Amino acid sequence: MIEPAVTTVDDEPTPDVAGEPVPQRLRAARRSYNVVVMVLVVGALVTAGLALVSAHLASSNEQHLLNLRSKEVASALTAALPDVQTPLGAAVALVDIDGANVPKFSQFVAPYVGPGRNFVSISIWRAGHLNQGPVAVVGEQPELTSATGGAAAILRAAAKRPGLTVRGLLHATQPRIAYAYSGTRTGPFIVEGEQALAASRYTKLPANSAYSNVDVAVYIAKTPTMHRLLLSTVRRLPLPGRHATTEVAFGSETLTVVVSARQPLGGTLPERLPWVILIVGLLLTIGAGALTVRLIAGRRGAQALAAENNRLYAEQRGIAQSLQHALLPEDLPKIAGLRLAARYEAGAPGVDIGGDWYDLMQLGADRLLLVIGDVSGRGIRAATTMASLRFAIQYAAKTEPPESFLPKLSSLRSLRENKQLATVLCVVVEPKAHTVSVTSAGHLPPVMVHDGQSELLLPDVGLPIGVDQSATYTATTFNVPDGATLLGFTDGLVERHHETLDDGLARLCRVAAEVNGELEAMMAQILEQVRGTESADDTAIAGIQWTN
Amino acid sequence: MDELDTPPPRLLHEIITPGDGSVVVVLSGELDLATTQRLNAAVQDAIASVSTCLVVDVERLEFADSSAIALWVNWSNRVPRIEIRNPRLMVRRVIEMMGLAEVLNPS
């Protein structure tokens, strides 16, 4: 009876991606997809963050430069104030000293009055008699008289504080700015000058001007309104886009300077940098996403390949093992007075199959041949050589005794081509005669167990099969007592690293003497106790028990 | 010395040619199915040059399985005489039990 050998293929964990259940594979695909999405999102966020920071920096830098420009414009405007103040101050000093000497006054201020000059009108007023109108006028009639609240109110206020008092704008259609000047020692006279403004207030700055890269609007008020506009470099107000505002004192009034940039003051690079960052960043992100997809695909490919390799290896190993099992006898013969059993144990998982085999065949009416053999090497080659040997022996044993057919086996082609050796043990059993005749081609001796004692049956040992076609073999005959058990085995049962075969055989003999029961139970115990779990080699064992 | 199996080298071999038509192959490490194939390829020429005796010094060989024995038997068919020198008891007993003492001449 044959115990089916353990098929280690089933026990072996083979990570097999291709064989994963579908939901698991979908989950894996979703995980990979999530990674790609994460890469894209993180890339986009980082890019957007950098672009925003860069835009903010460019913007605040631009605002800072614009603020500087507006302050420059404001200081340039206030620098023009002495042009107004000086003639008026000199004139008031003159009339204070001369007591309103009109011809002298007219002569002094005439160069400042007229088209293309600073003033359109300069007049003298006597403090305390403001309601009587001006004492003298050079140029056009002063518009101050038509100003809201009347000239008297304005000039009275000017008289109270020495220096320049500015009032604008006068008159809606022909706007003017009025400057009133009273001396530091408050004298009897106040000089009033008026500047005319162009009707449109539009001023074109020369292209080579220091301010050609900005647009400017100046209002003579704290809040920029159209009717308080002094000048503008654009035709349509308010100024478009980003602007900076500076307030500066102008006599008693306040000038509000509003500046906007025609082109980026910090150059175009800071302006474009956020876009450059955005585009480059997005491209890099897309590239990273594509790379991730490729890496994932590559890893999947590698996993699939590894799984395929595992599958192929398992398949190959499975084929070899199936082959091995197919090559071992399916049914053992039944002979009166004998109990027969045999087992084949595969090697450790991950170890290729070996070329061990056993055979039990009936020869004639009452003879039995037990064969145990071991082909050197491993894998398919060892298994095929084993098959050749087994079938050759089955055929030859029908007509010849072992010592006669064993030399011929060395000429088997697969043995020669693969440069293999095979050890073979043949035991011919004559149940009625209670004898066994043992022929060994380099094989380990069988062990005989009887009555709690065990011994090795040491026959003459001939050369292994495959060494020499002219080798000779002799059969050695042993007597067998009733109830004895004979076991043939391969070296997988007794061989261990760092130990001689003698040690292994001694262990076998010790264990064999201790175990009891029927043949199969004995074999199971022996396999378990002698072979040990560490054994990587495969093992064949076949036994005969005399039952009467 | 030549590394046959890396890493770590499981078998090292050295070829000595005394000049009297013999060749000495010194082995150390482990000789099994995996290492025999590489060893066989590495010593082809040296074995072909033997005209008297091939000496395989296995004193430092820690392990030899049936494929090692098969390799030596195969070598023995290609030289006039082979001598397995200084085998450890383990190896010697395998040779003796396989009935190969007269083929491989362990000494």
Residue with more model confidence, A27 or A48: A48
What confidence tier does A278 reach under pLDDT thresholds 50, 70, 90? very high
pLDDT value at A388 more than 50: yes
Q: What is the mean pLDDT of chain A?
A: 82
Q: What is the model's pLDDT at position A350?
A: 63
A390 touches chain B (CB under 8 A): no
Q: What's the one-letter identity of residue A216?
A: V
The pLDDT assigned to A94 comes to 80
A117-150 confidence digits (pLDDT tens): 888 888 888 877 777 778 888 888 887 766 655 6
Contact between residue A392 and residue A409 where contact means Cβ atoms under 8 Å apart: yes
Res. A283 pLDDT band, cuts 50 70 90 = very high
**Apex A171 CA angle, A168 and A175, nearest 5:** 65
pLDDT digits (tens, 9 = 90+) for A455-501: 999 999 999 998 888 889 999 999 999 889 999 999 889 888 778 88
User: Has residue A443 got a pLDDT over 70?
Assistant: yes
B chain contacts of residue A374, beta-carbon cutoff 8 Å = 66
pLDDT bucket at A19, cuts 50 / 70 / 90: very low
pLDDT score, position A146: 65
- Number of A:B CB contacts under 8 A? 66
Fold classification of A80-196 (topology level): Beta-Lactamase (3.30.450)
What pLDDT sits at residue A105? 82
Cβ pair B104, B95 in contact under 8 A: yes
Mark which residues 269-328 of A lie under 8 Å from B by CB: none
User: Does residue A512 surpass a pLDDT of 90?
Assistant: yes
Say if the Cβ atoms of A421 and B69 lie within 8 Å. yes
Helix axes A501-514, A519-526, angle to 10 degrees: 140
The answer to whether A500 contacts B33, with C-beta atoms less than 8 Å apart, is no
pLDDT of residue A533: 65
Mutate to test the interface with B, among A421, A469, A476 (most CBs of B within 10 A): A421
Interface of B with A in 15-74 (CB under 8 A): 33, 62-63, 65-67, 69-71, 73-74
Q: Show Cβ contacts of residue A201 under 8 Å, excluding neighbours closer than 6 positions.
A: A175, A229, A230, A231, A232
Is the whole model's pTM more than 0.90, yes or no? no
User: Which is higher by pLDDT, A105 or A493?
Assistant: A493
- Residue A515: how many other CB atoms lie within 10 Å: 19
**Distance to chain B for A413, nearest Cα, Å:** 15
A497: tokens are 């690293």
Q: Which of A462, A489, A475 is nearest to A407 (CA)?
A: A462
The answer to whether A464 faces chain B, any CB pair under 8 Å, is: yes
- Which residues, 6+ apart, have CB-to-CB distance to A15 below 8 Å? A306, A307, A310
Residue-range definition of the domain harbouring residue B14: 2-104
Q: Which of B65, B77, B89, B97 is the best residue to mutate to test the A interface, defined by the most A CB atoms within 10 Å of its own CB?
A: B97
User: SS in 3 state form for A80-107?
Assistant: CHHHHHHHHHHHHHHHHHHCCCHHHHHH
Tell which residue, B44, B32, B97, has the closest CA to residue B74: B44
A224-277 tens-digit pLDDT = 877 778 888 887 777 777 888 888 887 777 888 888 888 777 778 888 888 999
Separation of alpha carbons A390 and A412, rounded Å: 11
Highest mean pLDDT among A156-165, A182-191, A339-348: A339-348
Instruction: Test B94 with A501 for CB contact under 8 angstroms.
Output: yes
What pLDDT band is residue A7 in, cutting at 50, 70 and 90?
very low
Q: What is the CATH number of the domain that holds B75?
A: 3.30.750.24
What is the dotted CATH code of the domain comprising A328-546? 3.60.40.10
Question: Closest chain B residue to A468 measured between Cα atoms?
Answer: B77
Predicted confidence band of residue A196 (pLDDT cuts 50, 70, 90) = confident
What local confidence, expressed as pLDDT, does residue A150 receive?
65
The C-alpha of A313 sits at a distance from chain B's nearest C-alpha, in angstroms, of 17
Q: Do A328-546 and A80-196 have the same topology in CATH?
A: no
Q: Nearest Cα to A371, choosing from A386, A356, A360?
A: A360
Q: Could you give the CA distance from residue A113 to residue A130 in angstroms, rounded to a whole number? A: 22
Q: What is the pLDDT of residue A171?
A: 64
Compute the average pLDDT of residues B72-101.
Answer: 91
Pick the residue with more confidence: A10 or A503? A503
Q: Place A76 in a pLDDT band, splitting at 50, 70 and 90.
A: confident
Contacts with A210 (C-beta within 8 Å, 6 or more apart), sequence order: A72
Segment A169-181, tens digit of pLDDT: 776 567 788 888 8
Tell me the per-residue pLDDT of B2-13, one tens digit each, with 9 for 90 and over.
445 445 678 899
**A338-345 and B82-85 beta bridge pairing:** unpaired
Q: For residues A144 and A168, what is the distance between their CA atoms, to the nearest angstrom?
A: 10
pLDDT at position B7 is: 55
Report d(CA A182, CA B53) in Å as an integer. Answer: 137
3-state secondary structure (DSSP) of residue A216: strand
Total domains in the fold of chain B: 1
Do A500 and B67 make contact, defined as CB atoms within 8 angstroms? no
Note the pLDDT tens digit of each residue in B11-67: 899 999 998 999 999 999 988 888 888 899 999 999 999 999 999 999 998 888 888
Specify the pLDDT at position B80.
94
ipTM: 0.83
Confidence at residue A156, expressed as pLDDT on a 0 to 100 scale: 74
Cβ atoms of A425 and A371 within 8 Å: the answer is yes
- Please compute Rg for chain B using Cα positions: 13
> Does residue A220 or residue A340 have the better pLDDT?
A340
Domain boundaries, chain A: 80-196, 328-546
Could you please report the per-residue DSSP string of chain B?
A: -EE-STTTTSEEEEEE--SSS-EEEEEEEEESHHHHHHHHHHHHHHHHT-SS-EEEEEEEEEEE-HHHHHHHHHHHTTSS-EEEES--HHHHHHHHHTT-HHHH-B-
